[in-house]
Structure 1
Amino acid sequence: MSIEDDLDRPADAHAGAVVSDPDARASAVEQQLTDEERLALVVSVMGSNPVSPGRDPRIPEDVPMSAGYVPGVPRLGLPALLMSDASLGVTNPGYRPGDTATALPAGLVLGASFDADLAHAWGVALGREARARGFNVQLAGGINLAREPRNGRNFEYLSEDPLHTALLAARTVEGIQEQGVISTVKHFSLNCNETNRHWLDARIEPAAHRESDLLAFELAVERARPGSVMTGYNKINGEYAGGNRHLVTDVLKDAWGYPGWVMSDWGATLDWEFALAGLDQESGAQMDTMLWGRRPFLDDLPDALADGRLPRERLSDMVRRILRSVYAVGADTWSGPVPLDAAQEAEHADVALRAAREGVVLLRNEGVLPFVAGEALRIGVIGGHAQLGVATGTGSSAVTPHGGFAGVVKVGGPGVMGVGRNLYLLPSSPVAELRQALPDATVEYDPGMSPAEAALLARRVDVAVVVAVRLEGEGFDLADLALPWGQDDVIRAVAAANPRTIVVLETGNPVVMPWLEDVGAVVQAWYPGQAGGRAIAEVLTGRVNPSGRLPLTFPRSLEDTPRPELPGLGTPWGTPVEISYDEGAEVGHRWYALHDKTPLFPFGFGLGYTTFEHSDLAVTGGATVTARVVVTNSGDRPGADVPQLYLRSVDGRTRVRLLAFDRVELEPGASATVHLEADPRSLARYDTSGSCWRIDGGTYRVALAHDSGDAGLSAEVELEPRTFGR
C-alpha cells in the first residue's frame, strides 16, 4: 500500500473499533459507577522498579508489574488497565524477572525507512507482544519533532518533519490498536529537550506551533484515533503541558474533536486543577510524590469533588473518555495474556530485521562498498564493542532482548533517569555477522581504545571498519555533536593508516564528521535493534542494497543550527530552563532552506548501490497539489527509491514543506508511476485570528526530488484561495 492509498482511507477506518457506539456504551457504564470507582479510574500507579520500589497496595498480587496500573470494575465487565512502555518494544525495567521481548530498532530507523507498511507491521508486533503479557495499553506513539540535534531522546521519535512523522506514527498506532491494545501518541507537546525537562518552559509563537509540532499530532490523531494522548513534562508558553487549557481543551478536544482521554507523563501532574484544564488521568502517581511531594489526583481530587471545586460533570467526562477508548479499541473483549505462537515470534523478529535493513542510511561511498563477493579480504573491525553487539538508547524505551543484553556499561548521571543511564548492547555482533557472511575473509577485532593501537590493525588489513557509538537517552541532552571517548581521533588515525576505511555510526542523533573527506564510506546505522549486527553486515557485503533516507538534517556544526548554545545545558538537575523555539514552524530542512544554509547531509538523503531516475513529472493545482512521476531503476541492482514532493516557494518567496512521499521497490531497468497528493495543511498557514487554516492562493512552485537539498524536477501550479479547518 502506498502513502497515497493510505491518505485516502477514512479517518475512522482504523482497527480495533469493532463496536457500534462506544460513546453510548461509555456513557451508560459511567452512570453506573460509584464515585470511588470514578476516582480510581483517573489515576495510575507504577509497578515495582528501581525508581518506585515495592508493590503498591492497589496492585493485586496476581497482576504483573507494569509502568501503570488502573483498577477495573469487574461487576461491569471493565478490565483493569495495564500499561507498558513503549515505542521500541515491550520494556521491562526491573518489573518482571526473566521477561524479554523483541527489541526493535530506534524510532529514527523506522523514520529512515519512509515505509508506511513497515510502520504498520511494527505496530502489530508491539500490540501482540503487549497483549501476550496481559497489557492492554501500550505507551507507544512517540512523535515529538527533532528540533534540537542534542536532544537525548530523539532516537525514540521519527523525524524532524510533521507530515513524515504523522503518517508513520498513525500506521504504527493502527497496528497496535488492531490487536485490541490501546495506543498513545506522546508527548503533547514540544517535549523537544531533556535538560531539566520537568522545569523547562518551551516558548513558541502559537501559529508556528500549529504548523509544526501540533500538525504532527493533529494528523496522527485524525488518521489513527489513538485511545490516549500523553502530555509532556514541560511548560508551553508558561503553562505546564498537562495543565495547559489552550492545548488540551481548546485545541485537542474542541478544535480537533478528540474523543479519547488525556493522560500525563509519569510525574507530570503538579496540581489537581490540571483536571479543570482538561487532563483526564494522573499517571505514575508515585513519581509525582517523588518530584513534587504530592499525588494531586489521588490525594486532592476527592476533596475537590466533595466541596464542588471539581464539577461532577467534569469527573464524569474524564471517566467517559477512558471508557470510550477501551470500548472503541476492544480492550474489554479479552482477558489475560494471549500467548504468541512460534510463527508470530518469527514474524516479529523479521520486522526487527526488516526495519534495520531499511533504516540503514549510506551517507558516503567512494567505491569501497559493497565488499566484492568471494574476495578473500582481510577486514579489521575497530571499536564500538562490535565483538559483543550493537548499541541501543537508554531510558523508559529500553527493551530487554531475548537472551538478555550482550553487555551493559554502567554510566549513571543526575536526576531520576540517572539510574538507567547505561550503554546497553543488544546481542547482534557485527564482527560475528561479518564472519558468517564472509567465510573466505579474515575478520580481526580491535577495541579502539587508542588511535595508535587501532592504526596498527588498520595497516595490515585490506579494509578497516570503525564502529563508533554514542550513549544517548532519556533525561539527558548531548553537550555537543562529537563522538565521545576519543573516537574521532581513532577514526582519523585509522583513515590515515588505510584509505579503505568505513565508518559505521551507532548513534541516536547527527554527528559532526571532521574526518569525512578522509574515509571511504560512512554508514549511519542508528540504534539498529536486535538484528542490527546482521543488517550492518548485509549492507557492507551488498546482500542488502541500502535504501534508508535521513529523517533528520545533519548540520556541519552547531553554529549552523537555530541554537548554537542550548539554554540550561550543564545546570544542576532541578534548574528552571526557558527555550525559545524561535525557528517556529521552520523546523529542520525548512530552516536550512529559509536561511540558505547547506547542511552536511540534507533531510531525505541516502545513497545506495543502484541509481534512480525521475521523469515525466505532471503536477496539478486547485484545492491542493497532486503530482505524478515515473521512477526508474537505472542501475544494475534491485533497490528502493523514495521520491519526495516538496513545496519550494509561494509567489516567489521561499517556503519549504515536505508535501508527500512514497517508497518504491524496483528491479534493474524497471519503472513505476507514482502518484502523490499533498495534505492542504502542508500548503497553508494557520490563522490564529480566524482559528482556521488559510491558503492565500497564487503560484506555488513544487519539486519532485531525491532529498530536501536536491533541485529535482520542478513545476508551478496555481492554488485557489480558501480557508478550512479549525
Structure 2
Amino acid sequence: MRISMGKMVLWSGAALGAMVLAASTAQAQEAPTAATIKAADARAAATVKAMKPEEKTILTHGIMPMDLGMGNVVIPKDAVPGAGYIAGIDRLGVPALKETDASLGVSYVMGLRKDGATALPSGVLQAATWNPEILYNGGAMIGGEARAKGFNVLLAGGVNLMRDPRNGRTFEYLSEDPLLSGMLVGAAIRGIQSNHIISTIKHFALNGQETGRKYVDIKISEAAAKESDLLAFKIGIEQGQPLSVMCAYNRVGGQNACSNDFLLNKVLKKDWGWKGFVMSDWGAVPGVEAAINGLDQQSGAELDKGLFFADKLADKAKADPKWAARLDNMNQRVLTAIYAAGIDKFPAKGGEKIDFAAHAKVAEETAKQGIVLLKNEGGVLPLMKTAKSIAVIGGYADGGVLSGGGSSQVQGEGGAVYSIPLSGTGVWAGLIGQNYHRSSPLKAITAQAPQAKVTYRDGRYITDAVEKAKQAEVAVVFVTQFTTEGLDVPDLHLPQGQDELIAAVAAANPNTIVVLETGGPVVMPWLPKVKAVVEAWYPGARGGEAIASVLFGDTNPSGRLPITFPASTDQLPRPKLDGSDWVEPNFAGDPTSGSDILHADYDIEGSDVGYRWFARKGQKALFPFGYGLSYTSFQSSGLSVKGLTATFTVKNTGQRDGDEVAQLYLTTRNGEVKQRLVGFARVSLKAGESKPVSLTIDPRLLADWKNGLWTSPKGTYSFALGKDAETLGEKVSITLPAKSWKE
C-alpha cells in the first residue's frame, strides 16, 4: 500500500508485513516503535534494580562463538556459530544474544555452520531501486532467516555515506546522500525488526575507507558531519528505530569511534535521545574507559587487546559511583533492546524450515529493480528473443555472479559455485575470498533465447574472445570488480586487463553490450566503443536471472545510480587515497608501517559529498547521481512548492510500462549553489499513464548546523525536478522565513 506522509512517498510497514514472504513459522510483527521502546525502557530499569552485582557485567561483553584458532575460547552449548554471543541471565529470564552478520543476509561464515542462506544483492544495488518497500521486504526476509537459524541479533543497517568510491565496503552501504540512505536503511531495519530480533545501524560514524581502518583519524567539523553522515544515521534511526548502534573502527577528532564521548554520549544519546545500546565493532575497543565514553557492550572480546568490560569494569563500578551508575545504564540499554524486540517472549529457537525458493524471488525482484541501464545506443537493448547467435564472454558468467567479500558474505546451500582466494593463508584469507553465487547468467540468457546459438568464452585469452565475438550477432561481455571488507581498491579501472578485453571485443563486434558486476563506480575508457552498458552491481542469489530479464526486456530497467560515477579519480576531493602510499592494508587493520595515526581530511568536501561536491566544483561526472535509462520515457511537470510541500505530475510518455524515479533537488539558496536531494518517489506507470506526486521536504535539508541548532536563513530557495543530479528540468523559486531549531 502506498501512502503519502512525512518526508516523501513512503510505504506502510504494517501493510507490507503481511505481504513479505515469511522466513520462518513465526508471524512477522509490527517493528518496534518509539512507544514500544519507551515502555521497554521502563521495564528494563526495573530489571536492573533486581540484578545482583555479579550479574551486571554479563550483558556487557561477548565472544565470537567459533573456533578461529585465536586462543582458548569456550563456546557455550546454546551458541550458534556466528559473529557473536552474549550470555543471558537465567534467574531474571534474560535470554542470551546470538548475533550474525549482516545487511545482505545471514552470513556464510566461511561455511562453518554447514548451511546456506538467501543472499540479497549488494547494498548499493538495493539503494539503486530508490524504493523503501523493496528494502523493507528484503529486511523482513533476511531477518526471518536469521530467526529461523536461531539468531536474535542481525548486524545489519550499513549506512555510511560513500565519500570515496575506492572504499572496499562501498558495496555494503547504500548511497552518498543522507536522505536516500537514511530513508532506505530505516525501511530495511523496520523489516528486520518485524521478526522479534534486534537490528543494528552501523558503523557509527564516518567510516569511509578500509585502508588503515583501525587507526585512520577523520578530521571533520561538527557542522559538516551533522549535515551529511550523521544526518543519514539520524534519519535512519527515526525511520527504523534500530535497537542497537554499532560503532566504527576509525577515529573521529582523535578519539576511537567506539570510545568517543562526542559521538556516543553527546550526539547519539543526549541530543538524539536514543534509548538502545551501543555495541562495539569486533576488535574496536581500546580500553575500559570506552564505557564512560558511551560504549555499552564489548563485542568479540577475543579480538581486542583485553577483556575490558568484565572484571575491570566491575572493579571500576565498585570503586566509583559514577562508574556504578554508568554500568546500570549499560545494562538498562541492552535490556531495553531485548524487551522492545520481544526476544524474551518470542525466542528464536532455530531449526525452522526456510522456503529458499520463495526467498530467492525476493532477492531476484530486488535485483531487477536495482539494475541500472547506463547506455543504450541505437536501442540495441532489449535483445530480441529471436536472436540467432549470442557470444557471452568473461566474468565467470557460465557459473554465477560475483558477491562482495568480508563479514557480509552470504552464500546459498552448497556454498559458492566458484571460490577464488585473494591472498594469504588462514581463516581471514578465507573471509575475503572472491566468491560467486550459483546463478548463471549464461544459462539464463540461453533460456531467454532458446533458438539462438549461445557460446561462451571466459575471456582469459583476448584473441579467443575476439574470434568468438566476430561469429555472433551480439557480444555480451561480463566484467567484474571484486571489492571486500579489509581492502580498498587502488583505482577505478577494471582489474585483470578487462578494459582491454572490452575494447578488443567491441572492435570485433559492433553490437557489444557490457554487463558490469562491480562493488561501486568504475571508469570506462571503452565507453564510446560499445553499444550498451548495464550496471548489475553484485546482484545476489538470483542475479543471473535478473540480468537476463533486463537484457531481454521482461524487466524494464528502472534502477537509478545512488552514487556518482566520476570520470577519473582526479575529480575526487582526495585524488590520492589517504594512506595508500605507505600502508599495506590487511583485514585486521593493524598498522604495518609508518605512524600509528593516519589522517583523512573530510573538511575538504565537508557536507558536500558526492554529487554535492560535483555541483560545488562545476564538474561533470561520467554518470551522475540519480542517472539511469529506461526502455520507455517519462516526463515530470507542473512543479509547485508551497512551504515544505512539493507537488508535480509524472507521465509515462513511451510505449512500455515502467517505473520512474522522480527526484526533487534544492539547487540554490539565496543565489548560492547548494544542491541537495530533498525528495524522491519511485512511481509505477503504464504506457501513457500519469500520476500526481506529493513530497514533504525535510527542513534539515535546507538548513545549516550552527551553534548547536539547525538554522535556515530568510531568502530565496530554488528547487528543480531532476532526471538526475546534473539533468535538471522544471524549476521553482520560493521565499522562506528564517528559522532555527534544536535536533
TM-score (norm: length of structure 1): 0.95
* Cα contact 1:199–1:235 (8 A) shared by 2: yes
Deviations 1:152-210 (A, max 9, x none): 00000010001000000001111111111101000000111000101111111110000
Confirm whether residue 669 of structure 1 aligns to residue 685 of structure 2: no
Partner of 1:65: 81
Cα distance in 1 for residues equivalent to 2:440 and 2:255: 46
Cα distance in 2 for residues equivalent to 1:239 and 1:60: 34
Matches within 5 A, 1:283-362: 283-288=299-304, 293-298=305-310, 300-308=312-320, 311-337=323-349, 344-362=355-373
Counterpart of 2:174 (choices 133, 153, 158) is 158
Cα distance in 2 for residues equivalent to 1:142 and 1:90: 14
* Cα contact 2:58–2:89 (8 A) shared by 1: no
User: Could you say what secondary structure the match of 1:100 adopts?
Assistant: coil
Counterpart of 2:725 (choices 695, 708, 713) is 708
Counterpart of 2:57 (choices 39, 44, 48) is 39
* Cα contact 1:362–1:607 (8 A) shared by 2: yes
Counterpart of 1:500 (choices 511, 524, 532) is 511
Matches within 5 A, 1:595-606: 595-606=617-628
- The alpha carbon displacement at 1:222 in A equals 1.9
* Cα contact 2:149–2:352 (8 A) shared by 1: no
Partner of 2:416: 405
Partner of 1:252: 268
User: Could you say what secondary structure the match of 2:138 adopts?
Assistant: helix
User: Could you say what secondary structure the match of 1:201 adopts?
Assistant: strand
Counterpart of 1:533 (choices 537, 541, 544) is 544
Quick one: structure 1 residues 417 and 341, their matched pair in 2 at CA, closer, same or farther if it must change by over 3 Å? closer
Cα distance in 2 for residues equivalent to 1:222 and 1:646: 22
Deviations 1:386-417 (A, max 9, x none): 00100000000001213321110111259995
Deviations 1:101-155 (A, max 9, x none): 0011000111000001111101101210111011111000000000001000000
* Cα contact 2:279–2:295 (8 A) shared by 1: yes
Segment of structure 1 superposing worse, 4-13 or 526-535: 4-13
User: Could you say what secondary structure the match of 2:500 adopts?
Assistant: helix
* Cα contact 1:413–1:421 (8 A) shared by 2: no
Partner of 2:23: none
Confirm whether residue 233 of structure 1 aligns to residue 249 of structure 2: yes
Deviations 1:472-499 (A, max 9, x none): 0001011000000000000010001111
Partner of 2:278: 262
Confirm whether residue 577 of structure 1 aligns to residue 577 of structure 2: no
- The alpha carbon displacement at 1:332 in A equals 1.4
- The alpha carbon displacement at 1:237 in A equals 1.2
- The alpha carbon displacement at 1:339 in A equals 5.4
Partner of 1:454: 465
- The alpha carbon displacement at 1:95 in A equals 6.7
* Cα contact 1:377–1:462 (8 A) shared by 2: yes
Specify the code of the residue in structure 2 equivalent to 1:638. Answer: D
Cα distance in 1 for residues equivalent to 2:422 and 2:457: 22
Confirm whether residue 722 of structure 1 aligns to residue 739 of structure 2: yes
Partner of 1:698: 715
Quick one: structure 1 residues 493 and 19, their matched pair in 2 at CA, closer, same or farther if it must change by over 3 Å? closer
Cα distance in 2 for residues equivalent to 1:493 and 1:662: 40
Quick one: structure 1 residues 33 and 94, their matched pair in 2 at CA, closer, same or farther if it must change by over 3 Å? farther
Quick one: structure 1 residues 51 and 653, their matched pair in 2 at CA, closer, same or farther if it must change by over 3 Å? farther
Cα distance in 2 for residues equivalent to 1:87 and 1:682: 26
- The alpha carbon displacement at 1:567 in A equals 1.4
Partner of 1:478: 489
Specify the code of the residue in structure 2 equivalent to 1:694. Answer: T
Deviations 1:210-260 (A, max 9, x none): 000000011111222110001000000111101110110011000000011
- The alpha carbon displacement at 1:692 in A equals 0.9
Deviations 1:427-448 (A, max 9, x none): 0011011011110111100010
Deviations 1:31-89 (A, max 9, x none): 111222210110011011546477x32x4223221211111112211110001100000
- The alpha carbon displacement at 1:640 in A equals 0.2
User: Could you say what secondary structure the match of 1:522 adopts?
Assistant: strand
Segment of structure 1 superposing worse, 434-443 or 13-22: 13-22
- The alpha carbon displacement at 1:678 in A equals 0.9
Cα distance in 2 for residues equivalent to 1:220 and 1:503: 35
- The alpha carbon displacement at 1:338 in A equals 5.4
- The alpha carbon displacement at 1:420 in A equals 2.0
Cα distance in 1 for residues equivalent to 2:731 and 2:427: 50
Partner of 2:184: 168
Partner of 1:5: 5
Specify the code of the residue in structure 1 equivalent to 2:734. Answer: V
Cα distance in 2 for residues equivalent to 1:76 and 1:287: 29
* Cα contact 1:65–1:95 (8 A) shared by 2: no
Q: Point out where structure 2 has 5 or more consecutive residues left out of the alignment.
A: 15-29, 592-596
Specify the code of the residue in structure 2 equivalent to 1:37. Answer: E
Confirm whether residue 433 of structure 1 aligns to residue 455 of structure 2: no
Cα distance in 1 for residues equivalent to 2:607 and 2:280: 25
Cα distance in 2 for residues equivalent to 1:413 and 1:607: 41
Cα distance in 2 for residues equivalent to 1:208 and 1:544: 40
Quick one: structure 1 residues 562 and 282, their matched pair in 2 at CA, closer, same or farther if it must change by over 3 Å? same
Specify the code of the residue in structure 1 equivalent to 2:393. Answer: I
Partner of 1:389: 400
Matches within 5 A, 1:414-433: 417-433=428-444
Q: Point out where structure 1 has 5 or more consecutive residues left out of the alignment.
A: none
Quick one: structure 1 residues 3 and 450, their matched pair in 2 at CA, closer, same or farther if it must change by over 3 Å? farther
- The alpha carbon displacement at 1:697 in A equals 1.9
* Cα contact 1:389–1:406 (8 A) shared by 2: yes
Cα distance in 2 for residues equivalent to 1:149 and 1:19: 36
Cα distance in 1 for residues equivalent to 2:672 and 2:633: 32
Counterpart of 2:47 (choices 29, 35, 55) is 29
Cα distance in 1 for residues equivalent to 2:617 and 2:428: 37
Cα distance in 2 for residues equivalent to 1:310 and 1:46: 30
TM-score (norm: length of structure 2): 0.93
Matches within 5 A, 1:364-379: 364-379=375-390
Cα distance in 1 for residues equivalent to 2:412 and 2:11: 37
Cα distance in 2 for residues equivalent to 1:230 and 1:354: 29
Cα distance in 1 for residues equivalent to 2:182 and 2:286: 29
Deviations 1:550-572 (A, max 9, x none): 01100000001111111111513
Specify the code of the residue in structure 2 equivalent to 1:720. Answer: P
* Cα contact 1:370–1:542 (8 A) shared by 2: yes
- What is the aligned-residue RMSD (CA, Å)? 2.0
Partner of 2:669: 650
* Cα contact 1:191–1:234 (8 A) shared by 2: yes
